[in-house]
Amino acid sequence: MEQPPGFVAQEECGLVCRLRRSLYGLKQSPQAWFGKFSHIVQSFGLKHSEVDHSVFYCHTSSGKCVNLIMYVDDIVITGNDSVKISQLKRHLVNHFETKDLGYLKYFLGIEVAQSKEGIVISQRKYALHILEETGMINCKLIDSPMDPNKKLVADHGEPFSDPKRYRRIVGKLIYLTITRPDISFAVGVVSQFMQAPYIDHWNVVTRILRYIKKDPRQGLLYEDKGNTQISCYCHADWAGSPINRHFTTRYCVFIGGNIISWKSKKQNVVAQSSAKAEYRAMATAT
């Protein structure tokens, strides 16, 4: 760390200060903070997820579990072991200055509502913000996010006048798909033209916004149906792209009847038959 102005002595002008603790604004601060937090949490008995480094978990043979999710300095704790959760909270209080905000209601733009029926997650506030930013708050409603008979191509028609706006809005729609799998395919299509959007591409974006305006509160319901059976559905449109005949794979995964994962992606290869396209979709899903 460089010495601050006015502090440097004449014979020590080439020296630097030794940093004994992390400060905000320094490059190593996030790593130092996460390293300390990870050590404290794992000393309690939680394991570090190898799939997502922001997730810590503890599962027992009796079926009890505790999960901890961290984003910067915001922490979400969930699970079915209330005793273990209380102990974890006290453990964190002993090492950090923390504030318990109660049941989760809002986190990273995601709204959480809990009831006897289950847990509902949505992005109503975020969706309304997108509609206000684009001036579509009073737009006409529509029943589907995209015309199934319309095929978008690049370099066709009139270029869109504000490519930065196109990329910004499509980026926000991508984040909205966290709780809206119903727009995942349509958003995936318009995201293919981020580099050089045209008017036809923007018209599809506005159609998606009109569909969102129909019910901005729409989200996902997670309820206990008494089983944890895993089921997966997949599909591929063979030679669906009019540009290069590439196909798009789509899948969704359910646990106990609740959707937990979904994806729509255009592949970078050409399938020689519909059977190969469907096989590629199944391989992607598994």
Q: Is residue 15 part of a domain?
A: no
The alpha carbon of residue 40 and the mean position of all alpha carbons in its chain are separated, in whole angstroms, by 26
Phi/psi of residue 270, each to 5°?
-105, 125
Say if residue 41 is exposed, middle or buried (CB neighbours under 10 Å; 0-12, 13-18, 19+).
buried
What integer pLDDT is reported at residue 227 of this predicted model? 83
Q: Which amino acid is at 265?
A: K
Neighbours of 261 (CB within 10 A): 12
Tokens describing residue 234: 């997949």
DSSP string, 222-249: E---S---EEEEEEEETT--TTT---EE
Residue 20: per-residue pLDDT: 66
The residue segments making up the domain with residue 83 are: 29-100
**Domain count within the chain:** 3
pLDDT of residue 61: 82
Query: Which residues in the chain land under pLDDT 50?
Result: none
pLDDT for the residue 23: 58
Residue where a domain terminates, one of 187, 219, 251: 219
Same-domain status, 192 and 228? no
